[in-house]
Structure 1
Amino acid sequence: MIEPLFLAHGSPMLAIQENAYSEFLRSLGQSVKPQAIVIFTAHWESQVLTISASDEVYETIYDFYGFPEEMYRIKYPARGSSKLAGRLQAKLEAAGIPVRLDTSRGLDHGSWVLLQKMYPEADVPVVQVSVHPFLSPQEQIEIGNVLRGLDAEDILVIGSGVTVHNLRAVKWGQSEPEPWALQFDEWLLEQMQKPGYGELLNYEHAAPHARMAVPRPEHFVPLLIALGSGSPDRAPKEIFRAYEFGTLSYLCMAF
């Protein structure tokens, strides 16, 4: 059985960096051997949940600007799985969640930067799914709930985002995290351990420094989806945490 994960994709520079986080991802990939991957990426937004449904090799999308040239030469030639995409579509529609299929979109950096560290051979089928950032937290959890049970089939569900993601607040060159960023993540960890996730679903109003940490929700909602997809019999657990530029969180969770 493979636990659903929330993984921070952080800076695109992770693609060419060797550090504690890249080593963690490499080790994680060596220890977790899925039959397929379903990844919800913060860098694909749509008002209707959209699922990549192709058996072809994905195009590698470079959805970032001004980075070293070597990053634009990286290819991550994973294949999709139309069969798994169809299964997800059926599950979500049965739960009353509108869904579309997409047969042409490539993997954005919210997906391939993580996956090329975890599975560098690109030998695991990948189904990429969009997020609708403006659904309520409860609705995001319910999307995850629909995916419960995939873990028993060794299908790895990943929410790819960042808990503290405010690019206007980054402190370039600062290695120590800002206190407010720590306080926000600590609050999240505390709430996820409570029955019904405590005040997590009201995080916008209840969490300390919520507006600073989450000025826009697209990077936060993959956490809620991954959390919802986990077994209620397992306690959420922190599996990695670090900070870059003072505020950018690399908190990762297993559910």
Structure 2
Amino acid sequence: MTPVLETRALETTTPVLELDDVALSYRGSAAPVVRDVSLTVRAGHSLALVGESGAGKTTLLRLLLGLARPTAGTVRFDGEPLALRDREQMRRFRRGVQCVFQDPYSSLDPRRRVGAIVAEPLRSLGIADRRTAAPKVAEALERVGLPADAARRYPHEFSGGQRQRIAIARATVCEPRVLLADEPVSALDVTTRVKIVDLLAELKQERGLTLVMVSHDLSVVASLCERTAVLERGGVVEQGDTARVLGDPAHPYTRRLVDSVPRLPG
């Protein structure tokens, strides 16, 4: 087998991110926040983490981002255990895995112009300097539907939906392989929410992004994610193809989640 074919075979068989029997307990806590969680994120695919508040979704996202260290089990990146003290691995990881946070109002520094905010990953990862970052920033802004002159303005000059587009531009400017999204549309009105969901779907298809998303909104999950994992009290109670999990749930907790979605009277 040629090296190219070997690489393609590796990409096909090796998950880009993986949790293997992961648990996390905070100091002084009587019970773990998450326990015995195993999840696989394959390149080019999408996974939703759903459940009630306090189920452990955001904690799992922090583990996948390398922002927290599990007290048991292993987090893997490209098949290798994620070592937070390995600078070379973490540089590759930070370039390959980026995040969009829930609140576009608090995730953008109001004192900096949009161009500097979007360029920050390029500079911190050593991809570009101030001069060479400018065209990459303009391209990223255009990709999310914002004009290039947005780079000269401040976050407060934009609407909530536009700010979330800025956050997505910042997360995708360094061409990551994986985008982790923590409730990316929950702070937006319904019309804007639809537009941001459409943008994420477009980026996923055109850029080949792998998407992991935390969401309470099952309609967003059904639109964007091929697989869904349902969490209850820190553990995964059900996971599989989204159409099956949401359309014909096997676990009582999943059925309660699905039944709790408001429906228009017939």
Higher Rg: 2
Q: TM-score, normalised by structure 1?
A: 0.34
Q: Which has the higher contact order (CA 8 A, sep 6+)?
A: 1
